[in-house]
Amino acid sequence: MMKRYDMIVVGAGPAGLSAAIEAAKKGMHVVVYDENAKPGGQLFKQIHKFFGSKEHKAKIRGFHIGEELLAEAAELGVEVVLNAIVIGIFPEKEVTVKVEDHVIHVKGDTILIATGASENMVTFPGWTLPGVIGAGAAQTMMNLHGTLPGKRVLMLGSGNVGLVVSFQLMQAGCEVVAVADAASRVGGYGVHAAKVARCGVPFYLSHTIISADGEDCVTGVTIGEVDKNWQIIPGTEKHFDVDTICLAVGLSPMSKLCDMAGCAMEDNPAKAGFVPTVNEYGETSVPGIYAAGDVSGIEEASSAMIEGRIAGIAAAARLGFISEETCKEEAAKQEAALEGLRQGMFAPGMRGKQITETEEGVEISQNLLKHGFVAEEEIERFPGVTHSAGVHPVIECTQNIPCNPCQDACPKHCIRIGSNITALPSIDPEKKCTGCGMCVASCSGQAIFLVNEDCGDGTAEVTLPYEFLPLPQKGDKGVALNRKGEKVCAAEVVHVRSAKAFDHTNLLTMKVPKEYAMKARFFREEETA
């Protein structure tokens, strides 16, 4: 007899697992199929702290969120079948699954398709050479298998994936020679760009790859500036010796299974591709078949988890495990959380729009969009950047993104964001900073510094987040780098703090001449400048 489930979930990533958890909580019998040998989708490759607020698991690193989801699913008795490829969805929700060398046939009263996305690529002479890899491949090699993708890397793409992976490449020990993007402005969060730029990585916007060199593998790359018709401007070519070219040029929904199941589909640029049309619960045009996560529109993993939960709740109501009222109530809560994530300058509805000022009316840093860092003459206008005697936070958060852990992190309530999660953090001048550093460690964008602008002896102290090895020690001498990653002055490490609560974000305090208090933003251990 064909095995029957209340819900069949395709894909054990953030959306699929969250849906399975929610459905199982309501008493449903759930199975999750995933084609990979390990569950979690891409979560286990995400080693940065997530954005959002508490309810979105902000400031928790992606792989820890993956561990939490798996533990929760296991506790609820969700069956997760790995190395299992769903190869067909037929009328009456019959599903065929290839497991090892045979095909099984199961039936679901509801189905959730959470197959995620695949990476886009671009072509150029030499793009098929070994050494040209997807950004996802770089993450897989480094973060799952402890393998360096290369020694010297050029990143193509300045969206969040390109920026986050560039930083991860440096954390793993690679040199990133440049971030290039054909777009004229940095696509990802400014804070992600800024943490890459201050390490000395140059940004080349309006630049794309002309060609990759090499016979049997990559030995170099040439990029060039593009005009407004995306044509290379002669004479703008720049060559880099690299062994790796990393492509982070977007994701596309992997929605074939939805199409195959007969769901109405649409080509929707706001969702980054060919997606099933879904209602507010993620239900497709086929009653009882849901879609959640990147398969129904490219967004962050945080959104995928909430979409999954909503689909799980709706499926439970459909089968009568919960009442319509309970469904509405619970889904409304999740939708409010989702709405919170879809605010700000990077919200799905904002794609392609030119933004000139923040919600607060502060002029946007054009240098950040052009070069990946906020210029010295721009930084003072943001509300998180203030001056006072003694140690105080300097928050270089200059774009409206849905994120607020810094507000809760400060035990003295020095930092204000308010109820609008995308508001720029500001400093309460009445409250006294104790220099505890919780805000520095809590900032997923690594945009908070503690600064004592005048220590009284002609020096200043700057405390910065530091997530590299080897970890400098007290007394180490080196150079301070500015926001652009240029050496600006000599620096000495006076303090390095590591605590469990900081979750591997070390707090490095360096002493610099006081005129560099608002310029020095990174430390490098080398000969003094």
Partner 1 sequence: MRIQEHPILGTYEKGKLVSFTFDGKPLEGYAGEPIAMALKNAGVMVHRYTRKEHKPRGIFCAIGRCTDCVMVVNGQPNVRTCITPLEEGMEIRTQYGVTAEQPGGAAK
Preceding amide of 470 cis, omega within 30: yes
Half-sphere exposure of 182 (CA within 13 A, CB side): 16
Nearer Cβ to partner 1 (93/192): 192
Nearer Cβ to partner 1 (198/371): 198
DSSP-derived secondary structure letter, 143: I
C-beta of 467: minimal distance to partner 1 in Å? Answer: 5
C-beta of 60: minimal distance to partner 1 in Å? Answer: 12
> Dihedral, CA atoms, 50, 53, 57, 63, nearest 10 degrees?
10
DSSP-derived secondary structure letter, 432: P
Among 16, 40, 52, 134, binds partner 1 (CB under 8 A): 134
Per CB under 8 A, the segment of 50-58, 211-219, 389-397, 411-419 that binds partner 1 is: 211-219
Contact 203, 371 (CB under 8 A): yes
Contact pattern for partner 1 over residues 217 through 236, marking x by CB under 8 A: x-------------------
Per CB under 8 A, the segment of 33-41, 154-162, 263-271, 441-449 that binds partner 1 is: 33-41
Among 137, 362, 494, 499, binds partner 1 (CB under 8 A): 137
Q: Is 504 in the site for partner 1 (CB under 8 A)?
A: yes
Contact 318, 110 (CB under 8 A): yes
Q: Is 136 in the site for partner 1 (CB under 8 A)?
A: yes
Among 467, 479, 488, 493, binds partner 1 (CB under 8 A): 467
Nearer Cβ to partner 1 (147/366): 147
Chain position carrying tokens 């310029």: 519
Nearer Cβ to partner 1 (248/423): 248
Contacts of residue 235, Cβ cutoff 8 Å, sequence gap at least 6:
none
Tokens read off for 119: 């990476």
Q: Is 61 in the site for partner 1 (CB under 8 A)?
A: yes
Among 105, 147, 413, 486, binds partner 1 (CB under 8 A): 147
C-beta of 137: minimal distance to partner 1 in Å? Answer: 4
Buried/exposed 396-413: b ≥16 CB within 10 Å, e otherwise: bbbbbbbbbbbbbbbeee
Q: Is 81 in the site for partner 1 (CB under 8 A)?
A: no
CA distance 443 to 319: 42
Nearer Cβ to partner 1 (110/139): 139
CA distance 101 to 206: 48
Nearer Cβ to partner 1 (51/281): 51
Contact 48, 164 (CB under 8 A): yes
Q: Is 216 in the site for partner 1 (CB under 8 A)?
A: yes
Nearer Cβ to partner 1 (49/511): 49
CB-based burial label for 129 (10 Å; 0-12, 13-18, 19+) = middle
Chain position carrying tokens 């969702």: 271
Q: Is 132 in the site for partner 1 (CB under 8 A)?
A: yes
Contacts of residue 155, Cβ cutoff 8 Å, sequence gap at least 6:
135, 162, 165, 166, 169, 176, 178, 179, 180, 246, 248
Per CB under 8 A, the segment of 15-23, 105-113, 126-134, 374-382 that binds partner 1 is: 126-134
Q: Is 47 in the site for partner 1 (CB under 8 A)?
A: yes
Residues in the chain: 529
Q: Is 35 in the site for partner 1 (CB under 8 A)?
A: yes
Contacts of residue 140, Cβ cutoff 8 Å, sequence gap at least 6:
45
Q: Is 116 in the site for partner 1 (CB under 8 A)?
A: no
Contact pattern for partner 1 over residues 307 through 346, marking x by CB under 8 A: ----------------------------------------
Nearer Cβ to partner 1 (264/469): 469
Q: Is 146 in the site for partner 1 (CB under 8 A)?
A: yes
Q: Is 294 in the site for partner 1 (CB under 8 A)?
A: no
C-beta of 322: minimal distance to partner 1 in Å? Answer: 36
Among 143, 255, 302, 509, binds partner 1 (CB under 8 A): 143
DSSP-derived secondary structure letter, 144: I
Tokens read off for 418: 């308010």
Residue 56: phi and psi, rounded to 5, are -95, 10
β-strand pairing of 477-481 with 487-497: antiparallel
Nearer Cβ to partner 1 (129/350): 129
Longest Cα–Cα distance of the chain, Å, equals 82
CA–CA distances in Å: residue 484 to residues 118, 195, 199: 33, 10, 8
Q: Is 82 in the site for partner 1 (CB under 8 A)?
A: no
C-beta of 401: minimal distance to partner 1 in Å? Answer: 22
DSSP-assigned letters across all residues of 71-84:
HHHHHTT-EEE-SE
**C-alpha 146, offset from chain centre:** 20
Q: Is 472 in the site for partner 1 (CB under 8 A)?
A: no
Q: Is 100 in the site for partner 1 (CB under 8 A)?
A: no
Tokens read off for 334: 């999740």
C-beta of 200: minimal distance to partner 1 in Å? Answer: 17
Among 2, 77, 92, 145, binds partner 1 (CB under 8 A): 145
Q: Is 446 in the site for partner 1 (CB under 8 A)?
A: no
Terminal CA-CA length for the chain: 76
Q: Is 499 in the site for partner 1 (CB under 8 A)?
A: no
Residues that bind partner 1 (CB under 8 A): 35-37, 47, 61, 63, 118-119, 128-134, 136-137, 140-143, 145-148, 151, 171-173, 215-217, 467-469, 471, 504
